[in-house]
Amino acid sequence: MGSLKILALAGAMAFGGSVVASAADLAPLLPPPPEPVALRGTIGSGWYLRGDVGVGVQSIDKFYQEDVQAFGGQFFGKTEETAFFGGVGIGYRFNNWFRVDGTWEYRGASQIGVSDKLFNPFANGNQTNTYKGNLSSMVALFNAYVDLGTWNCLTPYIGAGIGVAQNRISGLTDQGIVFANEPFGPVSSTLGTAGTGTKSGLAWALMAGLGYEVNKNLTLELGYRYLNLGDAQSGIIRNAFLSETARPLKAKDIDSHDFRIGMRWNFGDPDCCAAPAPIAYQAPVVRKY
């Protein structure tokens, strides 16, 4: 009888172990621990921040000064230098082909210069003046872009912008030579200085470029922009030796061919270049009989 009890107990233990093993085989594995939280956007699917730096080849269509005009003079010998600029902005991407942004930029002082020639009736002779100063600008634009499709993470685009520019001429000097009582009269020199003058007006731009999506949050840009800045003017020109003043020097129709590089920090999810998201793995169910 004791042998039968021992055999029954052993059989029960073996059966219980088989059930436990089968249950362990049927139970799914625990999910893997969550991945660490990566830096990603949290504002919304379409918002982005941008920053740009670049260089502009600026030009001035013409110079104007009322006194030169009144005495039948003319300007010649324009000189302009390149301008360096940097800007920031915020935008919204509506879909894969249309986005808008608002930008603000500062264009550093670039040297400008021009000369004139006129007849001075008070000295009964010709006079020439050479003007030199610095031109700087602050520009705010509202821009719209059309993205033309993406190939291998490269997206060409075109765009246009409209806004306002505040142009400033500072440090202007007016160095002149007067040929009095020609042809036998003396030659004298003059010097004028002008205070800083500012003028605000309409600005507009046309753009084209190429964007490269580094990852879902960062896009790099290389672009060209034609920018029309409007007009600028100096302050009143004052003679350094006499109590005489002259009207401001005006720069008409300033424009620039800009070449810039920039970045967009995207707060959305689009990611053309990332590897497919990994699929959670679950071990297959194995049944043992």
CATH no. for residue 77? 2.40.160
Q: Are strands 197-213 and 218-233 parallel, antiparallel or unpaired?
A: antiparallel
132 found inside a domain: yes
172 found inside a domain: yes
CB atoms within 10 A of CB 204: 17
pTM passes above 0.85: no
pLDDT value of position 153 = 92
278 found inside a domain: no
Q: How far apart are CA 72 and CA 118, in angstroms?
A: 6
46 found inside a domain: no
152 found inside a domain: yes
What is the number of domains present in the chain?
1
32 found inside a domain: no
Using alpha carbons only, give the angle 29, 31, 36 rounded to the nearest 5 degrees: 155
pLDDT value of position 19 = 46
pLDDT value of position 16 = 52
pLDDT value of position 23 = 46
261 found inside a domain: no
Q: How far apart are CA 224 and CA 49, in angstroms?
A: 19
192 found inside a domain: yes
Q: How far apart are CA 211 and CA 153, in angstroms?
A: 8
Tell me the pLDDT of the chain (289 aa) as tens digits: 555 455 444 454 555 555 444 444 444 555 666 555 444 444 457 899 999 999 999 999 999 999 899 888 999 999 888 999 999 999 999 998 999 999 999 999 899 999 999 888 877 888 899 999 999 999 999 999 999 999 999 999 999 999 999 999 999 999 988 887 766 667 888 899 999 999 999 999 999 999 999 998 999 999 999 999 999 999 999 988 888 899 999 999 999 999 999 999 998 655 555 555 555 555 565 665 5
pLDDT value of position 26 = 47
Domain boundaries, position 172: 60-253
